[in-house]
Amino acid sequence: MKEIVDRYSGGSNIMVLVLDFETLDCEEAIATDITRSGCLLRDTSHTAKNKLIGLRLSGLDKMIKGKVQEILAEEVRVSFLFEDDTKREKRKEKRRTVSISASVLPGNGRGPVKCQIVDASLSGCRFFCKQLDELPDSIALRIPGMDLPVGGSIVWRANGYAGVKMNWQFSGKTEFMAAKTIRPPSLAGKVGANGSRKKTLAKQPNVIPAR
């Protein structure tokens, strides 16, 4: 973590991927002033205070759970929530209706199977799949905009629909502070989960890509 903070302290800007857990939409944003407890985000659509988001920061293979703490004039302040520092919220999660064309990775050398995610929340989602009976309980989902597949477990099936518990891999504080390898995440296909094409780094002035 010290290497990341030292490299990107001050006015340096780097590209991060920001995931909306409620819609599974993924966008590129610019992170600056990275510390051990949080960062500032520019060019993000997430401007609701206390909103939970996932961040894919350069140098980490796992996401960081974050919360929007403050809305500023041109950016938002985000605090990092580490799994080993915070307890999971027990309140009932809000589920959002979505329409996302995704792929199920059944494993065991089998190819991807098309599915349509119809609602989502932080802990899981529901999708429709014509080949549902052929899928095992343990799967991975490839969601547009995410550069890594997300593991999950099918907990119920009915009439072609499946309820999935998402096994999000969040970074713990120890992993975060020990990160040394600096490499930029990739926005898979440059397409958001809602089908819209997201902005790219080429359009952003004074942005320093991670190397």
CB atoms within 10 A of CB 154: 19
Whole-number percent of the chain with pLDDT over 90: 41
Of 58, 20, 62, 61, the closest CA to residue 39 belongs to 58
The C-alpha atoms of residue 112 and residue 135 are separated, in whole angstroms, by: 10
Structure tokens at 176: 């975060």
pLDDT surpasses 70 at 64: yes
| Model confidence pLDDT, tens digit, residues 165-211 | 998 877 765 555 555 443 445 544 444 444 443 443 333 434 444 43
Residue-wise over 40-73: b if at least 16 C-beta within 10 A, else e?
A: bbebbebeeeebbbbbbbbbbebbbbbbbeeeee
Structure tokens at 81: 């929530």
Q: Taking the model in full, what pTM does it have?
A: 0.67
pLDDT band at 146 (very low <50, low <70, confident <90, very high): confident
pLDDT band at 10 (very low <50, low <70, confident <90, very high): low
Would you state the pLDDT for residue 58?
Answer: 67
Structure tokens at 66: 């974050």
Would you state the pLDDT for residue 61?
Answer: 74
pLDDT band at 116 (very low <50, low <70, confident <90, very high): very high
Please give the full DSSP string across 42-95, using - where no structure is assigned. Answer: ES-S--STT-EEEEE-TT-SSBEEEEEEEE-SSEEEEEEE-TTTSPPP-SPPPP
Give Rg (Cα) of the chain. 17
Question: Hunting for tokens 């500023």 — which residue is that?
Answer: 72
Would you state the pLDDT for residue 90?
Answer: 46
Structure tokens at 69: 């703490």
C-alpha distances out from residue 68 to 71, 78, 198, Å: 8, 5, 21
Would you state the pLDDT for residue 185?
Answer: 52
Identify the bridge partners of residue 64 per DSSP, sorted by sequence position: 55
Residue 149 or residue 180, greater confidence? 149
